[in-house]
Amino acid sequence: MAISSTKDVPNTSATPEHVAIIMDGNGRWASQRFLPRTAGHAKGVQSVRRAVETCGNAGVRYLTLFAFSSENWRRPADEVSLLMRLFVQALEREVSRLQEQGVRLRVVGDLSPFEPKLQELILQAQESTAQNDALHLTIAANYGGRWDILQATRRMLAAHPELAAHPDQLDEQLLSNYLSMAWAPEPDLFIRTGGEQRISNFLIWQLAYTELFFTDCYWPDFGEAELRQAFDWYSTRERRFGRTSAQVYGSAKT
């Protein structure tokens, strides 16, 4: 059962256990170079590879990447179809590398609008990496935090119809068991590249106590050094989870 940061004080260490990233700035990276936006996404795949490697080497256990939001369908049709092709290619080409690195891949989000071939590749990749445990890589695709809370509520009520008559029996822990990443701890460190400072409907429930790191660096330029810088910044944060500083350092009565 997942620990809830609003109820329990999780054990934390200098290295984040779970890193969640919004990979923003691909389009602007490309425009600066007079390239089509899609070239930025293609370049962004290399940064995904680097992030997986760096997290694995640094001892991060969970890496969650926001690859396609529920709102990204609003983009031009050719950009959406290029992104879908990139997912297909990445799944076809990268799974053997993930195997070598001991990476378990999962995809979360509403996958029903994706074409059957992509859905099939996702299932295959999830199954073939299911025994790996070195790094848990999650790709959020057609994902939205509000969608996640809604789907969790629907599934929970279907499993516990008695709750409708006894809503007082519903608690945070029960609902969070139905979120699409219920098996993972909440993110310790959230990173957004590309200069914007917002969460954009990413893991909105799970980010309640996460440290938020924003950088102007565009995602295609975000490499090992930039990721390590974010880890260094994280290691300086004092995570209080509602306690006082004195409590955190053990110099006050609890």
Closest CB to ligand FPP among 24 and 226?
24
Choose one: 20-28, 122-130, 142-150, 182-190; the region binding ligand FPP (CB under 6 A): 20-28
To the nearest whole angstrom, how small is the minimum distance from the Cβ of residue 246 to ligand FPP?
Answer: 41
Q: How far is the CB of 95 from ligand FPP (least distance, A)?
A: 12
Q: Please identify which residue in 27, 56, 109, 145 interacts with ligand FPP, judged by CB under 6 A.
A: 27
Instruction: Sort strands 189-192 and 18-22 into parallel, antiparallel or unpaired.
Output: parallel
Q: What are phi and psi of 214, to 5 degrees?
A: -115, 135
Phi, psi of 218 (to 5 degrees): -75, 150
User: How many whole angstroms separate alpha carbon 105 and alpha carbon 15?
Assistant: 21
Are 190 and 140 in contact by the 8 Å Cβ rule? The answer is no
Residue 213 near residue 193, CB atoms below 8 Å: no
Cβ-based neighbours of 136, under 8 Å, separated by 6 or more: 61, 62, 63, 103, 104, 106, 184
Q: Decide: is 90 part of the binding site for ligand FPP (CB under 6 A).
A: yes
Query: According to the binding rule CB under 6 A, does residue 122 interact with ligand FPP?
Result: no
Segment interacting with ligand FPP (CB under 6 A) among 39-47, 105-113, 117-125, 181-189: 39-47
From the list 72, 132, 177, 201, the catalytic residue is 72
Catalytic residue check, 232: no
Shortest approach of ligand FPP to residue 254 CB, angstroms? 43
When asked if residue 109 is in the footprint of ligand FPP (CB under 6 A), the reply is no
Tokens 């990139």, located at residue: 86
Does 178 help bind ligand FPP (rule: CB under 6 A)?
no
Is 72 noted as a catalytic residue in this protein? yes
Separation between Cα atoms, residue 187 and residue 18, nearest integer Å: 5
What is the DSSP annotation of 158-205? HH-GGGGT-GGG--HHHHHTTSTTTTSPPPSEEEE-SS----TTSSTT
Task: Name the residue nearer to ligand FPP (CB basis): 213 or 219.
Answer: 219
Q: Is 181 in contact with 159 (CB distance < 8 Å)?
A: no
| Interface region with ligand FPP, contact rule CB under 6 A, candidates 25-33, 173-181, 201-209, 226-234 | 25-33
Binding residues for ligand FPP restricted to 49-88, rule: CB under 6 A: 65, 67, 72, 83, 86-87
Question: What's the rounded Cα separation, in Å, for the pair 71 and 84?
Answer: 15
Closer to ligand FPP by CB, 86 or 189: give it: 86
Interface with ligand FPP (CB under 6 A)? 23-28, 41, 44-45, 48, 65, 67, 72, 83, 86-87, 90, 139, 194, 219
